[in-house]
Chains A and B, each alone.
Chain A
Amino acid sequence: MQESKGKIGIREFIAIIILSTGTKLSDDTPTLLFKEMASAAWMAPIIIGVITFIPIYLIIRILSAYKNKNLAEVIFHLLGKFFGFILIFILLLIIFSALVVDSAVYTNIITSMYFSKTPTIAIYALLMIVCVYGAKKGIEHIGSVAWAMTFWIKISFIISLVLTFFHGQLDFLFPILGNGQWELLKGSILKSSIFADFLYLGFIFPFVKSKLDFKKGIWISFSFIIIEFSLALAAYTLLFDYIGVRLMNFPYHETIRYIEAGFLENIETFFYPFWLVASFIRFTFYLYLTAIIFGSLFKIKKYEYLLPTLATLIIFIGLIPESPTFVIFNLREKLLHFATPFFLILPLLLWLIAKLKGDLNNEKSKPFY
């Protein structure tokens, strides 16, 4: 009846963020955090949340000042053609490498944990086929699928968390500050680009129904993800101790293999498909974002047609590392460290320029979210 305008409501928006960023707790991100912060790793998301609060707030502030412009257009507007191009190109490189590295990690999880005999390329190709298919349907449908599945995915996750807490030992949480407060702070700052996805959400700003939905959606999902992440990290510590988690690459999968519920001993079957759906939605969204950024960088209006090409490229680059478990793990850490300064400084820079240009003045009376 009502012709859809390709916009997503707040529920779909929150669902996309929760699934695309929240899924990070189930790959090797926890191991990265445990590496430096030991038993205090569960505090890292909270500290990162405090640190990244300002950049995210600034991003929302800047975007709200320019109606119906996505982040790329705003950057072009503020920095001019040349610097804008360079900056967006770097952002594109970061998200593209993140997509390559992360999809390689997930393929590695699937092959090493569940399908040790199936050729990697088959799994990788299938993963990308789903993502291309989904991304081609557009943001509206990605949001709908995310919303339809979020509830069930989170239910399955909560059950696994509760079971883990039952199996865990509280003593493992000590020493409470791990390697000391400075290590904790340093590690958190370096890894704060874990939440860099929030910067990239600026690129879909015009697709969200209203400015208020965008603000609310970001803050709700931001707090949700911080709590979820902390709980998950605490649960891994309780179950394996931090030394144990350091040795594992994919603590979530070890966890769902370890826990049991009553007479049911192997219950990873109940969690694995939900995790898969979440990761499909995550990469679908990333792929879509990459296509949008690519499209706005090179002025391609029908960016959907880029998706198959991008996906093919991702598969072939992602397949290059010989022993992905180690190589990609290190690559991922480097990438996170590389992206952090951009994530922390870019919003500040944009905000300053916008302020100097006087574009933000009409926003002063708006409520604080």
Chain B
Amino acid sequence: MLLNIIKKIYSSNKKIPRFPEKSNKKEIEIKSQKIYTNLEQTISTFKELYSFPINNDVNFRTFDIRSLNKKAAIILIDTIADMKIVNEFVLEPLLNNSNPTGKVEELLSIQAISKVSIIQHAVDEINKGSAVLFIDSFDYALSISVSNIHNRGVTSSENEIVLKGPKEAFTEESSINLSLIRRRIKNENLVAESVPISLRTHNVLYLVYIKDLANEQLLNNIKNRVKALKVDSIQNLPLLEQHIEERKLSLFPTILYTERPDRASSYVEDGYIVILMDNSPDCLILPATFWSFFHISEDHYLRFIYGNFTRALRMLAIFITLFTSAIYVGITTFHSEMIPPDLLLAISATREKVPLPATIEVLLMELAFGLIREGGLRVPSSIGPTIGIVGALILGQAAVQANLVSPIVVIVVALGGVCSFLVPDISMNFAIRLSRYCFIIASGLFGFFGMTVFFTMGLFYMVSLKSFGVPYLSPMTPKYTSSKDTLFRRLLKNEIFRPGYLKPKDMKKN
């Protein structure tokens, strides 16, 4: 079974079996043609493309433009277009104006109008929410931007909470997200380059960077990787992240994911590249190092000493999460001589009635904690407290009273579990929690020796990781010029360099 799983992981779908597929060739051909001058033909073509009567929200409206004395039609999807604007600024002027003029554009009192001359482009515009105006005997159509896609407003950040500093978070609309970044960086060199990525759904992403800071080579590397994607659809950034990362099976994340515009803009200002996308209330920051997963934006908003105090706490929490359970297993199984006799007696007294070996006992409790945590995440908020009570009382208290686990194990596991919440980034959080299981197993097999073996191998693995060419533990090792914001941060007046591993065009911050 294990072999099968491994095979599954490593085999990519290179051999594609033949499916009885229906060819789309005819429609593709139609779409690549120029717009017909015959309006009737155009309308029937579009009705066919949009499978008209079945497709409920596609709207075809034909009418006469009196001033031109021609027939015309407007095609739009009424769920994503603003019908009010269409009526007021498009239909009314066209219907009511009887003065003969040569140009239709002059009749429309709307700013964003563009010409399209190929059917495919007209279809793209309609899909985006524009209204497309076709006029008889014209060999082009007019796309009028009236899109009104529903989205929620800017709300405060829910997953990256800070007490001091800006509260707002990205939302699902990329133009709003972009405006949130532009509001922070008022500079003409801030570029938001749009890159189309998917073949079927035509998703677009925005590469946001500062032109005179970001390294060209890095930018081209990212662009090439994004353009090389041959995927039908990429709905949002978490999916994109998995498409463009280098080591897809790696335990550690190599792309930073955040929902805070202030964080994104501070990275952009350092020469990083940020990816925004529609439908994603977040952004991707590349390249990322281990330290960017370890930091949160509040570290810099708090005063120097307080900020570093939280950093110290977080580092301690990571160590506790990784090692407490494993150390407990190691001590009780192999190294009982290492702890003071009093503590040893206390531990052995509580373990006296427990029938399970320490490793199994700890793994059992870790698993229970993992289950409660995952369950608590998915539970509807109205019955949330129940889970808490069940988790805490039944799994903790009752398991101890039933002599299934010893009270010390509950403390050890709970401590590790609570500390794991101090790791701010969700991907890093998973990485650390999964390594904790590995440490427990290593410790159960070989005590501290096994733990150190696993730790050293993990360290070797971590230093060999790269995110878009940037070593994972830089600037610590290998060394680069930087503001030395790694484990602890410096005074703001001393953080004067942009990270050297990015090779920004301007190293010094003023």
Q: Give the most central of A2, A137, A263, A269: most B CB within 10 Å.
A: A2
Is A144's CB under 8 angstroms from B215's CB?
no
Residues in B with CB closer than 8 Å to A126 are 446, 449-450, 453
Alpha-carbon distance A46/B373, docked complex (angstroms): 58
A114 within 8 A of B: yes
Nearest CB of A to B271, in Å: 10
Nearest-Cβ distance from residue A120 to partner chain B, whole angstroms: 12
Contacts of A115 in B (CB 8 A): 334, 446-447, 449
Cα distance A3–B501 in the bound complex, in angstroms: 10
Which chain B residues (428-480) contact chain A, with CB distance < 8 Å? 446-453, 455-457, 459-460, 463-464, 468-471, 473, 476-479
- Say yes or no: A1 contacts B501, CB within 8 Å: yes
Most central of A129, A134, A263 by chain B CB within 10 Å: A134
A306 at interface, CB cutoff 8 A: no
Give the Cβ gap from A9 to chain B, nearest Cβ, in Å.
6
Residues of A in contact, count (CB < 8 Å): 42
Q: How far is the CA of A12 from the CA of B477 in the complex (A)?
A: 8
Q: Which of A103-144 contact B (CB under 8 A)?
A: 110, 114-115, 118, 122-123, 126-127, 129-130, 133-134, 137, 140-144
**Are B477 and A133 touching (Cβ within 8 A)?**
no
Does B340 lie at the interface of the complex (its beta carbon under 8 Å from any beta carbon of A)?
A: yes
Let me know if B337 and A266 touch, CB within 8 A.
Answer: yes
Total interface residues on B, CB under 8 Å, equals 39
Interface residue B335 (Cβ < 8 Å from any Cβ of A): yes
Contacts of B449 in A (CB 8 A): 110, 114-115, 123, 126, 276
Tell me if A264 is interfacial: C-beta within 8 Å of chain B: yes
Nearest chain-A residue to B218 (Cβ)? A1
Kindly identify, within residues 251 to 284 of chain A, every residue whose CB is under 8 Å from any CB belonging to chain B.
Answer: 263-266, 268-269, 272-273, 276-277, 280-281
Q: How far is the CA of A144 from the CA of B465 in the complex (A)?
A: 12
Known: A1-B502, A134-B456, A269-B335. A144 touches B451 (CB 8 A): no
Q: Which residue of A has the minimal Cβ distance to B459?
A: A145
Interface majority SS (helix, strand, loop, mixed), chain A: helix
Q: Which chain A positions have C-beta within 8 A of B300?
A: none
Give the Cβ gap from B287 to chain A, nearest Cβ, in Å.
Answer: 7
Residues of B within 8 A of A277 (CB): 452, 455-456
Q: Tell me which residues from 302 to 347 in chain B have a Cβ below 8 Å from any Cβ of chain A.
A: 331, 334-335, 337-341
Whether the Cβ atoms of A130 and B338 lie closer than 8 Å is no
Instruction: Give the residue of B218, B448, B451, B478 whose beta carbon is less than 8 angstroms from that of A140.
Output: B478
Given contacts A2-B503, A133-B457, contact A266 B470 (CB under 8 A): no
Q: Quick check: is A147 within 8 A (CB to CB) of the other chain?
A: yes
- The closest CB in chain A to the CB of B340 belongs to A265
Nearest CB of chain B from residue A343's CB, rounded to whole Å: 29
B334 to chain A, nearest CB (A): 7
A77 within 8 A of B: no
Residues in B lying within 8 Å of A, measured CB to CB: 215, 217-218, 287, 331, 334-335, 337-341, 446-453, 455-457, 459-460, 463-464, 468-471, 473, 476-479, 501-503
